[in-house]
Structure 1
Amino acid sequence: MRHGTRIACTAALLLSLTTAPAAMAADADPTHVDGRLPSGATYMMDVPTTWNGTVLLFSHGYNAGPANPAQDAPDAPTKALLLQQGYALIGSSYASTGWAVTDAVPDQLATLKAFTTRFGQASRTIAWGRSYGGLVTTAIAERAPDEIDGSLSMCGLVHGGVANWNNTLDPVFALKTLLGSDVPLVNLPSQEAATDAANTLTAEVDSAQSTAEGRARIALATALHNIPVWNAPTQTRPAANDWDAQQANQYDAVKGLLKIAAFNRRQEAEVRAGGNMSWNTGVDYARLLGKSSVRKEVTALYKKAGLSLTKDLAALNRAPRVTADPAAVAWMGTTSSFTGKLAKPQLSIHTIGDPLVPVQTESALRRAVTAAGAAPLLRRAYVDNAGHCTFSPAEQLAALHTLEDRLTTGSWQGADPASLNSRATEADPTTPTRYITYRPTPYLRPYDLAHPADRR
């Protein structure tokens, strides 16, 4: 799909877009434009006086609302560096907040068209985004390849929507089952009900954390989401066999998952999808644990607590399962899952200690792209840092320049960690450069449109 319904705007509609006067405090200052699309989404553009001909179409991350501002760069320091280097920056707010992919893709493409109408055709267009914006960016790359030259996903939900919600279900299902909770996990009727469920299960997790048995069970639940043992920049990086410190870090992260995604964001997504879009029918949790990146920690903590891991895994496998609404799965699959059919180069970068969108999502993206026969167009790179989207300006610019080099030369030479770090230091010597050689373990619950067996 090259254009969404709202993308096919007439010239008259584009000419009707409202724009604020350009902010020109001095000759060297960029031109700043604020505007509104026919959908109601707002956009912003920043164009330097000496534009280098490249426009960067930035897709922002998940926004729960109610405020819904446009954004055209990931952060202020990176934005300043990009403008100094002559890039034009653009991005929209999306017409709605939340899981807004059906608004985000057409609004972003309409923003690009509005830019071209005002400033002329770019010599190169790169779509980029982070977190949920990485999903939007990848959707643009698959559905509108003629509109861009390449794409850059940063800490993105590149595993797609169905996989995301399945993998979000697993840890809360384990916590509910093993801690004896009765909270509802799906088909949440309201945001208030979602908040109540999140608060109830969080309190039960807090209580469990006070015992060795509870800590082991929390570790098992986090393993089913591949929550890393170092997952926030404020945490001390634990030693390889310091199981207690590892679990303490995961405990902090799983509470964040309960607060952010597992209930409130799920409820909003269920409303859009028209029902529950995830399931665990047929899932073998012993098999999932066997593929988890932190399975050794779980085994050690169960042994320390004197618990039988085999019995708890059997309890998970016996517990009543969650069944999906087929129509909701179809909606989420159609709107938010990927075919892997890249037509233009994409670079995808991730921090290795991401608790919200685990680094294993990159394995899911590679699975889809490889099955679709587009593997030469994809490269992945990894940053040795904890947290979600905790890239430095230097690391983000290095990724952008590496993608640009691929577009110019037709080769991914220079996408290795040493070259990325060299580019990062050159782009901004004041912030960290931490690219490393890394290979993520498999994503535990993959779902994409390149594998017919995934579809339900």
Structure 2
Amino acid sequence: MRQVPLRGAVLAVSFALLAACSSTSSQPPAPPGLSPTPQSTAPRVDTGTLAGAPYRFEIPAGWNGELVVLLHGYEPRGVPRDDPWPADPATAIFLARGYAVAESAYASQGWAVGDAINDSERLRAQVVARHAPKRSWLVGMSMCGLVAIESLERHGAHYDGALSLCGANIPSARVFADTLRSLAAFDVLFPDAGLPGDGLADAAALPLDDPRADQPAVMQAIATAMAGNPDAAARLARALEVSPDALAGTLSLHVLLQREAIARAGGLPVGNRDTVYSGFGDDAAFNAAVRRYDADPKATAWLADTGNLRGTLEKPLVLRYNRVDPTIPPRYQSVYPAMAAAAGRAGHITVVSPSGEGHCAFSPEQVIEAFDVLVRTAG
């Protein structure tokens, strides 16, 4: 089956894939305001900026009266944006089924969870005021699987349900504890990697301001270091639940995420001063060797208001993961269902069987299959 390169897949490591996922729409640019394209059957398109966030809204010719708020995934800071904001590759899937689609680019790039929630909610309110859809749905990918869930927790009265595809469906604090774990582990296992600064986990390191050039360079340096000690690389891959072939890419992504978060928050948002690590072989020796970091209080406060999931949803949520995903490891998959169960909301969650190999590598049929489960569950 053909696969749709969801814009959420920018969380994947290849920036060639990033370019594919952020490609411009094949439709001609639409002027501000809802305007039909020359083809009578083509969607009507509205593009513009709302509170600093570019947006795109489309209504198909045979609109079914319902709205999908489509949430794209992680967009590295500094990546050039198209103007007007182009349709996500997944947009056509929902337009073909008769749904109107609203997409915010968010006012900022990087770990823009807070902006994604607020900007998408602002766009939804504008669409509702102008077009009064009968029902509204959230569909989030990758980082914005988390955004879809938190939006459902915060603004559930405005939505009928949410679908998280290939989502980082865990609290942001756990995301950054996980990135610190992987980077600190690399520094223990490859102490002579020859990387700039004090290793991959260095909290004082500068962000990757040119990710298209900087991240591949970091990835190559990591791969070179691991080639000199394949046994240590295999041990690290097992601990991180990724294949050895994907390990360098996963680590370089974690570098990108952590450094951007430090720059955004003004410090390291999660520390490891009292963390006891396991899964790296001789745990006592590992914990004695690993470098310890303290979280910055102001960064911790930022993180507490950014992707702070609680499990307290009141509407249906469907989760679908990929079978093999170097970005969203298997250990993430049980986290939010357990949180919802602890909050007494387990009945609101449906987990669809995993499909596709690679981050956000779903076919259109697999996307619609999961979305149809959501619609049926909502009734």
Q: Give TM-score scaled by structure 2 length.
A: 0.82
Within 2, Cα distance between the matches of 1:202 and 1:274?
Answer: 28
**Bigger relative contact order (CA 8 A; separation at least 6):** 2
Which segments of 5 or more consecutive residues in structure 1 lack a partner in the other structure?
Answer: 1-17, 230-249, 290-308, 409-456
Q: Of the candidates 51, 64, 68, which is equivalent to residue 81 of structure 2? A: 68
Q: Write the letter of the residue equivalent to 1:354.
A: D
1:185 aligns with 2:201: yes
Within 1, Cα distance between the matches of 2:86 and 2:147?
Answer: 14
Whether contact under 8 Å (1:55, 1:87) holds in the other structure is: yes
Note the 1:128-277 alignment, pairs <5 A: 128-181=139-192, 182-183=198-199, 185-191=201-207, 199=217, 202-203=220-221, 205-210=223-228, 214-227=229-242, 229=243, 250=244, 252-260=245-253, 262-277=254-269
Within 2, Cα distance between the matches of 1:317 and 1:277?
Answer: 21
1:118 equivalent in structure 2: 130
Aligned-pair distance for 1:68? 3.4
Note the 1:286-305 alignment, pairs <5 A: 286=278, 288=279
Note the 1:413-424 alignment, pairs <5 A: none
1:316 equivalent in structure 2: 286
Q: Write the letter of the residue equivalent to 1:283.
A: T
1:452 equivalent in structure 2: none
Aligned-pair distance for 1:31? 0.9
Within 1, Cα distance between the matches of 2:99 and 2:85?
Answer: 15
Q: Could you say what secondary structure the match of 2:162 adopts?
A: strand
Q: Of the candidates 357, 362, 371, which is equivalent to residue 391 of structure 1? A: 362
Within 1, Cα distance between the matches of 2:268 and 2:216?
Answer: 17
* Runs of 4 or more above 4 Å deviation: 69-74, 192-202
Within 2, Cα distance between the matches of 1:392 and 1:371?
Answer: 33
The structure-2 alpha-carbon separation of the partners of 1:197 and 1:154, relative to structure 1 and needing over 3 Å to count, comes to closer
The structure-2 alpha-carbon separation of the partners of 1:178 and 1:159, relative to structure 1 and needing over 3 Å to count, comes to same
Q: Could you say what secondary structure the match of 2:339 adopts?
A: helix
> How many residues matched?
339
Aligned-pair distance for 1:173? 1.3
Q: Write the letter of the residue equivalent to 1:314.
A: A
User: Which string of whole-angstrom CA distances, capped at 9 and with x for unpartnered residues, describes residues 160-213 of structure 1?
Assistant: 211111111222212211221441514234225998798568535424324xxx
2:37 equivalent in structure 1: 24
Q: Of the candidates 49, 58, 64, which is equivalent to residue 52 of structure 1? A: 64
Deviates more, 1:189-198 or 1:378-387: 189-198
1:11 equivalent in structure 2: none
Aligned-pair distance for 1:135? 1.5
Whether contact under 8 Å (1:56, 1:87) holds in the other structure is: yes
Aligned-pair distance for 1:40? 1.3
Deviates more, 1:105-114 or 1:78-87: 78-87
Larger Rg: 1
Deviates more, 1:215-224 or 1:342-351: 215-224
Within 1, Cα distance between the matches of 2:85 and 2:346?
Answer: 31
The structure-2 alpha-carbon separation of the partners of 1:371 and 1:330, relative to structure 1 and needing over 3 Å to count, comes to farther
Aligned-pair distance for 1:153? 0.5
1:352 aligns with 2:363: no
Q: Write the letter of the residue equivalent to 1:379.
A: T
Q: Could you say what secondary structure the match of 1:35 adopts?
A: strand
Q: Write the letter of the residue equivalent to 1:188.
A: A
Aligned-pair distance for 1:114? 1.6
RMSD: 2.5
The structure-2 alpha-carbon separation of the partners of 1:399 and 1:204, relative to structure 1 and needing over 3 Å to count, comes to closer
Q: Could you say what secondary structure the match of 2:321 adopts?
A: strand
2:371 equivalent in structure 1: 400
The structure-2 alpha-carbon separation of the partners of 1:74 and 1:24, relative to structure 1 and needing over 3 Å to count, comes to closer
Q: Give TM-score scaled by structure 1 length.
A: 0.69
Aligned-pair distance for 1:362? 1.9
Whether contact under 8 Å (1:59, 1:133) holds in the other structure is: yes
Q: Could you say what secondary structure the match of 2:274 adopts?
A: coil
The structure-2 alpha-carbon separation of the partners of 1:343 and 1:87, relative to structure 1 and needing over 3 Å to count, comes to same
Deviates more, 1:51-60 or 1:376-385: 376-385
